[in-house]
Structure 1
Amino acid sequence: MPLHMYWGLGLLVPVFCTLLYGYMSRKALEALGYPNASSVWAYFSRFFFSVLLFTLWGMYNIPLPLVYILAYTDKLFRLLRKKESRAKELFLINLTHLTTMALHMILIGIFSLITQSEMYELLQHPFWRILTIGIVLTVNSVVAEMIPRWNIVLEVLRTQSESAEARPFMIFLWFCNAFLLLDSLLCVAKIAWGLLPLFLIGSTVLLEFYLIRFLKHLYAVLKKHYLEEEHYRLIEKLEQQDREAADLRSKSVLDPMTNIFTRRYLADKMESLAAAKESFSFVYIDLDHLKQVNDRDGHHAGDLYLMRFVQEFGSLLRRDDIFSRVGGDEFAVLLPGCEKDAAANRMEDIRRYMTEKSDSCISFSYGIAHVSGNTGDSPEQIFRRADQEMYLDKQARRR
């Protein structure tokens, strides 16, 4: 039977509906991680074959299975030209092509029952061909507009369509596409059976029912998998934040060069002891000869000089004593529960040992401020008192 050509304004319907579907699907593709067309020509070329195919189908009664095959081939051809992951696109192509074929054949069956005509006779009229494809493209446009609002579904499709859980469903999609392609032969077959449209509708709806059930099950599995991954990602992020916070705390607590406590940490401990009404002695220390070492041997030698002092002096302190660096060559020691005389005796013993018996031969001046349990002095006031005592000691040692 020769093909009869239709030429009229009705051909604008598939053109308009295809371009509308392409326009409405831009945000959906962008939400799924695909870049938009970079130019008008790139956008038009993406849907050129679809516009041509559906327009020709409106003009000529091209066999329906061939239309489905050509539409599917066009999607595959566009996929093969891309370098992105193909598993995700194959998943989406099979799913969308399957639902499009199913809706189209259900419409053909419904209109066949309404008009009381055979399906192959219905498809010989351009009006019904154009009407059915127009409805399908319009429905696809509405769905494409709604997709960006389904956040979890989007995340599942973006990240999990390549997962092992989706592979059995992918096989099911291949089977369903092949099954519906064979079913489409019923639409063009000259079978004089009045219940054939009803049979086609029933089998297609049943297939869609199982597809929806399978989709719901896959969605539940992938959602659980996605939530587990999100849970682990958040845990890892919190652990990273904890590590960063600990690193910041460490930087605020420890001096980066000497690795002893900072002035800030020392002040916090003094406030804690004062709040607990515990007595302590605060020793302010000024290291001798650092400037001369720096001028004579360089700053690297000065750093080594500082490190030798810290190691030697720190080894002579008690476990509970708090040793900190408060300036370039200035240090401080917090001696909990130690009276001023006892603190002075300890500092004299340490200084004598370091200058006479130790190999380091490092000397220092010191001043002591004692704080009883009921003293209301602030850390800065205690610093100043000890600093004044230290200068008195330095002057006395110069005589």
Structure 2
Amino acid sequence: MRRTINHPEEPMSDTAPTLILLFVVCNLAENLYHLYFLSRMDTLITRPLSLILIQFLSVAAQTLLLFSPHYFSLSLFYGLIFVCQFAQSMVCRLSRTTPFETFIVRFVQMVAVHLCLISIFALHSDRSLDEILSMQTSRVFSICIALGFGLLVKLLNRLFQPQYRSILDHGQIKDFRFFKHFTMLSVIYLFAQSILCDLDPTHLLIPAFLLGSNLLLIFLLVGYLVNIYYISLTSDAEHSNSELSRSLAQADSRLRILRHSTYHDELTGAFSRVYAFQYIGTLLERHTLFAVVYFDLDRLKHINDTHGHQQGDHYLCSFVDQMHHHIRPSDALARIGGDEFVLILPGCDRVMADQRMEEIGREIEQGEEALLFSFGTSDSSEARDVHTLLECADQRMYTRKKERKGRSDHA
């Protein structure tokens, strides 16, 4: 169904100055919007000046098209908007990430809304698109409403940042790659519709087709954005969870290293004084039978003075290695400091500890590297605190050491 209408060239109406002012105000609002956020994020004066120049040329060219008394070409007008918005996006980009996706989404939203508006005007007034596009009032009002809608979308985008910007920058999301293809095909589809309007603007079914197809396009676009928005939230949550897990793993690793350095002697690999005191305290709290052996290496001072501290360190390490070969896995050998060690023997009393240490002492002294030491023992039945137990074992060690030295001097 077609309607053939011959329109004379429409002269500039009395409302033309008002329409021009309305159009300029809409563009000025968009320009101020860009300048405001650009001034907050960019210190280079060349970018705002470039943006003003592009916006001025865009408004001038669009005004000439909108208020031209000749036929109004939708495809030419949309192409001009496309070029100007792309140039604005290139000027306003604040990172190395290409702004193409952001610009495409805005363009598709604005053009789809504009096509819906002129279709509604045509259907409501029972006119063809040729008549609607030949009227300056309908041209300008539809464009201004579309520009206002685009500006509203930009403001809403700012309210949802950084979430919405995260959508546009999440190229690693699989759905977003499909979304980029969808928006680029949408641009081609919208230009095809505008060319169709230019070629056959008098067909009465075209407004209904434009309205239905562009409403569907808007719903698909909004649905896609909402879907990607929630996907990006999930992706951000997974990323945060991954970062938290990595941080916890690093903290756990540092804690293990710290615990190992706290509970172990760095030189010999034996347990530390801290571990020995905690272990003895735990056994006392559980009322477990155990014995404590206090060691003192007899020749360490002589080795340090004669051969140096490096040889003395080797002597300490050799003693610990030999002891580990002779004690049980449940026993704990700890270095208290210097040449003093403590051996904790769970399940042993003082008599059993003395017997075991006599046997170990004979085997170590008869080895390839004679390791001489003095020891004293005590068990959990003699005291209920760590310091008393160690003091008892220490006193007996010094008594045994004096007796051993006396026998050596007598010999």
- Structure 2 length as normaliser, TM-score? 0.77
Alpha-carbon offset, residue 306 of structure 1:
1.5
Aligned in 2, Cα 1:208/1:133: closer, same or farther, shift over 3 Å?
closer
* 2:379 alignment partner in structure 1: 370
- The reply on whether 1:36 has 2:41 as its aligned counterpart is yes
Alpha-carbon offset, residue 213 of structure 1:
4.0
8 Å CA contact 2:41, 2:94 repeated in 1: no
Structure 2 portions without partners, runs of 5+: 1-7, 67-71, 407-411
1:57-206 correspondence to structure 2 within 5 Å: 57-61=62-66, 63-74=73-84, 84-86=96-98, 89-111=99-121, 118-123=131-136, 127-128=140-141, 131-132=144-145, 134-148=147-161, 151=163, 154-159=165-170, 161-185=171-195, 191-193=201-203, 196-206=206-216
* 2:3 alignment partner in structure 1: none
Superposed CA deviations along residues 333-355 of structure 1, whole A, max 9, x for unmatched, are 00112221221232233233323
Opposite residue 42 of structure 1, the aligned amino acid is R
Aligned in 2, Cα 1:43/1:354: closer, same or farther, shift over 3 Å?
farther
* 2:4 alignment partner in structure 1: none
Select which of 312, 323, 341 maps to 2:322: 312
Select which of 8, 20, 25 maps to 1:13: 25
Alpha-carbon offset, residue 307 of structure 1:
1.0
Alpha-carbon offset, residue 179 of structure 1:
0.6
Q: Secondary structure at the match of 1:283?
A: strand
Between the two proteins, what is the percent identity of the paired residues? 26
* 2:253 alignment partner in structure 1: 243
Aligned in 2, Cα 1:11/1:347: closer, same or farther, shift over 3 Å?
same
Aligned length: 384
- Bigger radius of gyration among the two: 2
8 Å CA contact 1:14, 1:55 repeated in 2: no
Select which of 355, 363, 368 maps to 1:359: 368
Q: Distance in 1 between matches of 2:26 and 2:85?
A: 18
* 1:275 alignment partner in structure 2: 285
Opposite residue 250 of structure 1, the aligned amino acid is H
* 1:266 alignment partner in structure 2: 276
Alpha-carbon offset, residue 299 of structure 1:
3.2
Structure 1 portions without partners, runs of 5+: 28-34
Opposite residue 171 of structure 1, the aligned amino acid is H
Select which of 43, 54, 63 maps to 2:59: 54
Select which of 315, 340, 345 maps to 1:330: 340
Q: Distance in 1 between matches of 2:345 and 2:125?
A: 101
Superposed CA deviations along residues 98-152 of structure 1, whole A, max 9, x for unmatched, are 1222123333444556677633223577853763354134313322332217x4x
8 Å CA contact 2:110, 2:147 repeated in 1: no
Superposed CA deviations along residues 150-191 of structure 1, whole A, max 9, x for unmatched, are x4x5544443x3333433332222111111122234565672
8 Å CA contact 2:109, 2:150 repeated in 1: no
Q: What's the C-alpha RMSD, in Å, of the aligned pairs? A: 3.7
Q: Distance in 2 between matches of 1:67 and 1:256?
A: 78
- Structure 1 length as normaliser, TM-score? 0.79
